[in-house]
Amino acid sequence: MAGHHPKSAQHGTGSDDSATRQRTVEELIAKGREKEAFKQAKFYFHREASPENRLLVERTYVVRLQALIRGGMFSAGKEVALSLLEFGVKDPALLQQVVLLLPEVGLADKALALQAQSPSPSSDVQDQLLLKLADRAVLHPEETPASLPGVREAAGRVRSALTALDSDNETQALEFLQPIPRSSPLADWRFFVRGLIAFRKQDSEQAKSNWDRLDPQRAAHKIAQTLLASSDQKPHADQQKQLKALELQAFGEAVLDRLAELRRALETSDWKRALQVIGPLRMTLQRINPRDSQRLTEIVLFPLSTGLSQQSLREAERLLKEFKATLEPLSWDPHWNRFQAILWEGPQGGPRQAVQFWRAYLLDLEKGVSGLPGELRQVQALVWRRIGVLSRELDREPDFGFFQDDPEDFEEDSEARNQVAEALQNSLRLDPKQRRTYELLIECYDDWDQPDRLVATLEELLKVFPDDVDALRQLLHERQLRDEPELVLSYVERLRKLRPLDTKLAWDEAWGRLARARHLALAKRWEDGRAEFARIESSLKECMPTYRLFSRRAAFEFKAGDAMRAEVCIETARGSLPEPTPLFLSLAIEAVRYHLSKPLQSRFNEDFKKALTKKVISETAGELAGALTGYFVSEVEYNGRATHVKEVVGYLRRTTRTKYLEPDLQHVCRFLQLVGGEDKLLTTLLKRGVKLFPSSPFFMLTEVDLDLRKGPMSVRPQPMQKKLEKALALAEASPNPKDAELIPIIKQTLARVRDVAEAMRSSPFGRGGMPFGRGGMPGSFGDMIDAMFSRFGDMGPDDDEDDDGPSQSPRRKRK
């Protein structure tokens, strides 16, 4: 026996006095070691069956019984209670306690019997026992002593009322309760049932007013408190227990505390703990509601992706593997390909790997997935578009040898471009209504200088979106570049219906009619051609300087063989200019374009050369530069253009001290910027522009642009930034709308310069190293300059009279 005794008991001696023994047992009880205390007391009693030791055994029996009831171990409690009854309870105070505990372990009869044996029964205990038996009769009617028929009947009513509520029959439930008098020990349950009806109707006030009347010692109060725990957003420790009990009944197991634990783990990036929680939580959620398991995955993916991006590649791969094994994959991403594609699109990933995963995801989609957030074809189309966009990034990878890890990683342009185009076209086949996909394809063809495909895509877009103003404008411009006046005029007509107040369309119409007149002349349809001129003169003459209209009319009449009419036109044109130099240039150009005779061509060229020798003036410089800029922007090629450019540049070289007017100097700078190779002259004139017109943002912006075009070695970010910031301030303060139009260009340039400055700071090569990342410089110079030219090209009808410089679509970036 000694071997079974607690360690402390083995060391106990017969010399222990009563107080020591009692203290030893009480200490064990205080430490929550009731079972040990019980054994210790029994040990003492076996050694010496004194009344004190007996009392200790009785006391530890009761404590043990209480502990088992608290822990919900009623069967074990019943065994202990029976053992206690067998042992006998001599202490009157303990006996009263035992009487109240016995019903809770299903020994109601024994409780009544014990109470009856009590030498001095307390009326208070008697009342409490009755209430306990009443509750017990509701919870376990089969245990109700036969001696309490009233309690049994009333408890039956309470149970019937609750059963009626199971079938939502509230009226019947209340009817069942009606006969229970207020004085009945079951009266508490009436309040409980009424409160329950209100609680289920979400009438908190009514529920509370009924449940507040419940006796805190009664079973009904405990049930009510458990139900109320679900309403508390931040339940305290006791409520947590109640909530768990409720979860066990409602869900079969507890889940809320595990969700909270996962939340904490994710908030602190404790991935190990998160993984530990997710596994069992996922199983639980699947049982409760399979959709919640999917929700869990969806919620965890974002913090997981952020966490993975902060790990080393090896650690990230390990974590990813573990999470893939633990989380349930989304039904519409069954093999995690979409997730991994997105991960690879992140800052530490790479478009090439992302494309591979997106392609794998397309295969998943083809095989069939469920729960897609949209229609399958739409999703497929979006994924193809994504592949197109990423492939385009690959196509744009900088081709700087010393920045490339492996040159073979970069495919030939054409192959990469084919992949881009193929992906975008696949996307459009699946969903032809994706405007953005058309736009991307158009941007690509524009960037790659593939005008035929560009036009074909624009026309496809127009089939789906016939009122797309941008597409119409861009097509109009493409047709201008191709010298197709009939189509230009048809687009003008369509645009006019959509934008009746657009004044630039008059300019486009004038361009179309002039071009049509030339075509008619070449086809010898003189009267039709004259009709076009008549229409321009009657309603469109404001769209261009008089001399440019009449120089063309003169060329037309020469072609038609009416020299006299032609000379009249020349005279009219001359009269509109301070000096005829620009007219002679225009005549020389149009003579070639109208295929006039060699003598006529020579005459106008001679006139032009002679006029160029005169003293330079601002108006002529501006007009000559503006006229040639128009031909450049429109990509009009003609024999002798290079000579004309050379001659005009020669004239402009003599203007470095000319007292320029602002618009003329702007035309000149723009022209020099366009033809290139005249940096010194352009620099001088820009400086002059800044000096003469300090409030103009144009010259400052163009100065920066010129420096940028010289290449990375000329980039001095700080002064450039300062200049651009000043230009921006001027443009924003300027009342001139043309200055305001420069604002986005200045901002774009400023952003690029800041990027360059940042890259230079972080570049191991320092200044003059290679500060350009993907999509950065120097490739981006072209974009910016194109953007600027397209802006200049837009200066059509109001104050920029370049009749050959059609307006550029916002999309147009042709190099």
Partner 1 sequence: MDMRNAHETLGVSSNADAAEIRNRYLQLVREFPPDRAPERFAEIRAAYDELRDPSVELGRRVFTLTTRDSLADMEAELRGRLKSAKLTSAALLSLAETP
Candidates 150, 374, 466, 719; binder of partner 1 (CB under 8 A) is: 374
x/- letters, 436..465, toward partner 1 (CB under 8 A): x-----------------------------
279 is an interface residue for partner 1 by CB under 8 A: no
User: Which three-class secondary structure string do you get for 664-733?
Assistant: HHHHHHHHHHHHCCCHHHHHHHHHHHHHHCCCCHHHHHHHHHHHHHCCHHHCCHHHHHHHHHHHHHHHHH
According to CB under 8 A, which residues from 640 to 669 bind partner 1?
none
Give me the least distance between CB of 268 and partner 1, in Å please: 13
- Ranges of H-type helices in 167-289: 170-177, 187-200, 204-211, 219-229, 237-251, 256-267, 271-288
Please give the structure tokens belonging to residue 577: 């200019």
430 is an interface residue for partner 1 by CB under 8 A: no
740 is an interface residue for partner 1 by CB under 8 A: yes
CB nearer to partner 1: give 301 or 455. Answer: 301
- Which one of the spans 4-12, 287-295, 464-472, 786-794 is the region binding partner 1 (CB under 8 A)? 287-295
Give me the least distance between CB of 258 and partner 1, in Å please: 10
According to CB under 8 A, which residues from 106 to 145 bind partner 1?
135, 138-139
According to CB under 8 A, which residues from 743 to 762 bind partner 1?
743-744
Which residue, 371, 340, 377, is CA-closest to 358? 340
Cα–Cα distance for residue pair 178/196, rounded to 1 Å: 16
The residue count for binding partner 1 (CB under 8 A) is: 65
Dihedral (Cα; 787, 792, 796, 802), 10-degree rounding: -130
260 is an interface residue for partner 1 by CB under 8 A: yes
- CB within 8 Å of 540: residues ≥ 6 apart: 506, 509, 510, 513
Q: Which helix (H) or strand (E) holds 476?
A: helix 469-481
x/- letters, 228..247, toward partner 1 (CB under 8 A): --xx-x-------xxx-xxx
Candidates 23, 51, 203, 302; binder of partner 1 (CB under 8 A) is: 302
Candidates 23, 46, 90, 200; binder of partner 1 (CB under 8 A) is: 200
263 is an interface residue for partner 1 by CB under 8 A: yes
326 is an interface residue for partner 1 by CB under 8 A: no
CB nearer to partner 1: give 344 or 594. Answer: 344
Which residue, 570, 726, 738, is CA-closest to 667? 738
315 is an interface residue for partner 1 by CB under 8 A: no
CB 255 within 8 A of CB 284: yes
- Which one of the spans 68-76, 505-513, 534-542, 548-556 is the region binding partner 1 (CB under 8 A)? 68-76
CB nearer to partner 1: give 281 or 600. Answer: 281
CB 19 within 8 A of CB 50: no
In sequence order, what E strands does 125-201 have? Answer: none
Candidates 47, 152, 208, 222; binder of partner 1 (CB under 8 A) is: 222
Give me the least distance between CB of 382 and partner 1, in Å please: 6
Candidates 80, 81, 99, 301; binder of partner 1 (CB under 8 A) is: 301
- CB within 8 Å of 629: residues ≥ 6 apart: 667, 670, 671, 674, 792, 802, 805
State the DSSP string of 511-550: HHHHHHHHHHHHTT-HHHHHHHHHHIIIIIGGGS-HHHHH
Candidates 44, 176, 211, 339; binder of partner 1 (CB under 8 A) is: 339
CB nearer to partner 1: give 138 or 587. Answer: 138
Candidates 434, 655, 696, 749; binder of partner 1 (CB under 8 A) is: 434
Burial of residue 224, with CB atoms counted within 10 A of its CB: 0-12 exposed, 13-18 middle, 19 or more buried: buried
Burial of residue 736, with CB atoms counted within 10 A of its CB: 0-12 exposed, 13-18 middle, 19 or more buried: middle
387 is an interface residue for partner 1 by CB under 8 A: no
Asked if omega into 778 is within 30° of 0 (cis), the reply is yes
Which residues are near partner 1 by CB under 8 A? Answer: 70-72, 74, 135, 138-139, 159, 162-163, 165-166, 196, 200, 202, 219-220, 222-223, 226-227, 230-231, 233, 241-243, 245-251, 255-256, 259-260, 262-263, 266, 288, 292, 295-296, 298-299, 301-302, 305, 338-339, 342, 373-374, 378-379, 382-383, 386, 434, 436, 740, 743-744
